[in-house]
């Protein structure tokens, strides 16, 4: 694979480097924050060599690359510049719960490598001790045990850094603030009982705590902003952190610390109650639906639950055990597909993805095999659900926050219960064998011919030629005249533009509405011959957030040529300074001929 070529194509199809606000990556995905998500061509991205899939979710354009994510990231960053300074003007508006989830994931996700590495190391040293290879009282055992325990003990400090990064405040000051909570002399004073300003401070052990540190840095972020605004510039370097620390620490000791502590206690108690009453059912259900959760990014919501639960109880009994059933089921299905398929490319993808899933990385399997064919998805979900139920009945617990796989199975080692590891290994074998057998039974290669999407859509006919009418009254113009490189370059597809005379958008042909936008500035259509059409009203009009737009149709609605799709206030667009040009592009021609109206 030529990473440089693929990197250039990825940048092109996310709207160019000027459209990229931020780029990060996880274990399998490139995560782009874009100025305008309408400029991302997901279909074109999916065709790039090395790309397994592309979705827009959680305020990001996520491009699934699989095991080559680091190499692809390294190829892209020099081309876009690591420090992109674009403003976040056009990012999708999120609801309050989406903002909260994004914040929590942003705080907890970066912690996973340190916690996972330490947890597996600790489980390995426990396993060695259980097998008699090393004494639990030896200095070697104790030092490695310290290494494994330290990240969870000093978790408030790690939380301080990630929260400060998420809130874009000074990391070092944030770290200094929270370090007070685990300062040995303060811990001793709290244990004996101490006061501040004559008022008693609640005795709380802040080591391994999560929420007190988050609340403290949230307060610090607010204080830093306002104190910096009014503080004289010559003394900011010491006066801003001085005042922030002098205010934040007392407020945390009196209010935020106890509040965060009790929030964590209540959350843990609720989860343990639910698990105690519905354990095996919850584990089975979660393991079955994990493929869909991972595909949409919803599994990230489990991390803010798993981290505090693991630190509070020392184990996690729902998400990580369920993940064992899902991950190994993905591997088994891929290996079964590799045997059954006659398609060499599918076989190669299945083998590679199966090996990755076996080691706990499932996204190559999901996007390369599972989500592309229900004959692969069904056995994964059946096997995952059955194995998850077995895991729940056996009460398997995880002791390290890491993706379950063959190399990380020691995460289930429990020095107080040797059967826990044995039961986890049994579940591993059941998931692998069951999913493998089910895939052998259910898998069938796609027939060569029309694509699956076209065959499954009864609306699409076999007409080869599509003739389009102008979607609005006005002067028809060539696409290259549009003052936007993404449209004028043809990156999104061939088409034309119209300088509108009014604000009524019509259907250019009989079609099915396949996409509408809350902002009302664009619409996606599926023509009878399978061609996909995007109509975009104006340039950068997503910034209007729906003001002046009235969508008259719904998704999946069949519309006749000339039927009204959207009404918009043309005069308002002009007054607000937007270019009102209406652009129509064919994002997927389905290999059919398209006739555009003449200028």
Using CA atoms, how far apart are residues 256 and 212, in angstroms rounded to an integer?
Answer: 6
Residue with tokens 């104190």: 227
- Reply yes or no on whether 334 is catalytic: no
* Residue pair 503/569 in contact by the 8 Å Cβ criterion: yes
Using CA atoms, how far apart are residues 128 and 275, in angstroms rounded to an integer?
Answer: 31
Among 26, 13, 2, 5, CA closest to 54: 13
Using CA atoms, how far apart are residues 287 and 370, in angstroms rounded to an integer?
Answer: 15
DSSP-H helix ranges across 131-256: 139-153, 155-167, 171-179, 184-192, 211-230, 236-251
Using CA atoms, how far apart are residues 568 and 576, in angstroms rounded to an integer?
Answer: 13
Length of the chain counted residue by residue: 599
- Supply the DSSP symbol for 49: T
Among 487, 489, 528, CA closest to 507: 528
250 strand-pairing partners: none
- Supply the DSSP symbol for 93: P
Residue with tokens 């709207």: 15
Q: Look at residue 316 and give its three-state secondary structure.
A: strand
What is the phi/psi pair of residue 366, to 5°? -60, -55
Two structure tokens written together for 284: 């089975």
Residue with tokens 């610390």: 257
Two structure tokens written together for 136: 């639990």
Residues 6+ apart with CB under 8 A from 352: 66, 67, 364, 368
Using CA atoms, how far apart are residues 331 and 273, in angstroms rounded to an integer?
Answer: 32
Residues 26, 231, 334, 425: which is the catalytic one?
26
Q: Residue 525: in which H helix or E strand, if any?
A: strand 522-527
* Residue pair 92/60 in contact by the 8 Å Cβ criterion: no
* Residue pair 30/574 in contact by the 8 Å Cβ criterion: no
Two structure tokens written together for 521: 């500035």
10 Å Cβ neighbour count for 440? 16
* Residue pair 346/444 in contact by the 8 Å Cβ criterion: no
Using CA atoms, how far apart are residues 165 and 170, in angstroms rounded to an integer?
Answer: 8
State the catalytic residues.
26
């Amino acid at each position: 694979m030529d990473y440089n070529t693929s990197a250039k194509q990825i940048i092109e199809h996310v709207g160019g480097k000027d459209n990229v606000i931020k780029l990060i990556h996880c274990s399998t995905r490139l995560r782009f924050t874009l100025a305008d998500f309408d400029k991302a061509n997901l279909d074109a991205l999916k065709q790039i060599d090395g790309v397994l899939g592309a979705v827009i979710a959680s305020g990001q354009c996520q491009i699934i690359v699989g095991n080559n994510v680091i190499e692809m990231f390294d190829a892209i960053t020099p081309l876009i510049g690591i420090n992109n300074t674009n403003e976040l003007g056009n990012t999708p508006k999120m609801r309050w719960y989406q903002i909260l989830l994004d914040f929590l994931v942003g705080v907890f996700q970066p912690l996973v490598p340190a916690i996972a590495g330490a947890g597996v190391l600790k489980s390995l040293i426990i396993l060695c001790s259980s097998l008699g290879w090393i004494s639990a009282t030896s200095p070697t055992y104790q030092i490695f045990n310290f290494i494994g325990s330290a990240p969870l003990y000093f978790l408030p400090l790690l939380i301080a850094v990630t929260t400060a990064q998420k809130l874009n405040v000074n990391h070092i000051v944030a770290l200094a603030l929270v370090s007070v909570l685990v300062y040995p002399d303060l811990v001793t004073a709290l244990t004996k009982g101490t006061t501040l300003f004559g008022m008693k401070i609640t005795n709380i052990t802040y080591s391994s705590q999560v929420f007190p540190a988050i609340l403290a840095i949230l307060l610090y972020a607010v204080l830093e902003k306002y104190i910096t605004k009014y503080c004289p510039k010559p003394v900011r370097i010491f006066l801003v952190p001085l005042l922030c620390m002098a205010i934040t620490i007392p407020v945390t000791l009196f209010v935020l610390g106890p509040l965060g502590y009790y929030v964590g206690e209540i959350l843990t108690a609720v989860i343990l109650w639910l698990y105690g009453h519905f354990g095996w059912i919850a584990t089975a259900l979660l393991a079955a639906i994990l493929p869909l959760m991972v595909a949409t990014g919803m599994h990230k919501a489990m991390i803010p639950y798993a981290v505090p639960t693991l630190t509070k109880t020392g184990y996690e009994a729902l998400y990580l055990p369920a993940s064992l059933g899902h991950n190994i089921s993905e591997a088994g299905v891929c290996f079964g597909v590799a045997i059954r398929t006659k398609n060499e490319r599918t076989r190669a993808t299945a083998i590679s993805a199966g090996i990755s899933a076996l080691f706990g990385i499932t996204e190559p399997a999901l996007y390369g095999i599972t989500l592309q064919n229900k004959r692969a998805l069904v056995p994964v979900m059946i096997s995952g659900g059955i194995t998850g139920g077995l895991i729940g009945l056996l009460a398997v617990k995880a002791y390290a926050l890491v993706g379950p796989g063959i190399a990380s199975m020691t995460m289930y080692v429990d020095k107080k219960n040797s059967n826990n590891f044995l039961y986890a290994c049994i579940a591993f074998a059941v998931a692998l064998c069951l999913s493998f057998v089910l895939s052998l039974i259910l898998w069938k290669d796609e027939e060569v011919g029309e694509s699956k999407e076209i065959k499954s859509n009864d609306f699409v006919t076999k007409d080869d030629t599509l003739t389009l009418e102008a979607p609005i009254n006005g002067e028809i113009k060539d696409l290259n005249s549009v003052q936007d490189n993404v449209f004028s370059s043809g990156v999104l597809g061939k088409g034309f533009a119209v300088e509108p005379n009014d604000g009524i958008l019509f259907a250019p042909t009989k079609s099915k509405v396949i996409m509408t936008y809350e902002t009302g500035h664009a619409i996606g259509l599926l023509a009878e011959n399978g061609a996909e059409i995007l109509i975009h009203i104006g340039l950068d009009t997503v910034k209007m957030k729906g003001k002046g737009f009235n969508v008259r149709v719904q998704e999946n609605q069949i519309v006749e040529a000339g039927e009204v799709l959207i009404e918009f206030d043309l005069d308002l667009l002009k007054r607000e300074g937007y270019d009102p040009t209406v652009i129509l592009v064919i994002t997927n021609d389905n290999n059919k001929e398209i006739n555009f109206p003449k200028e």
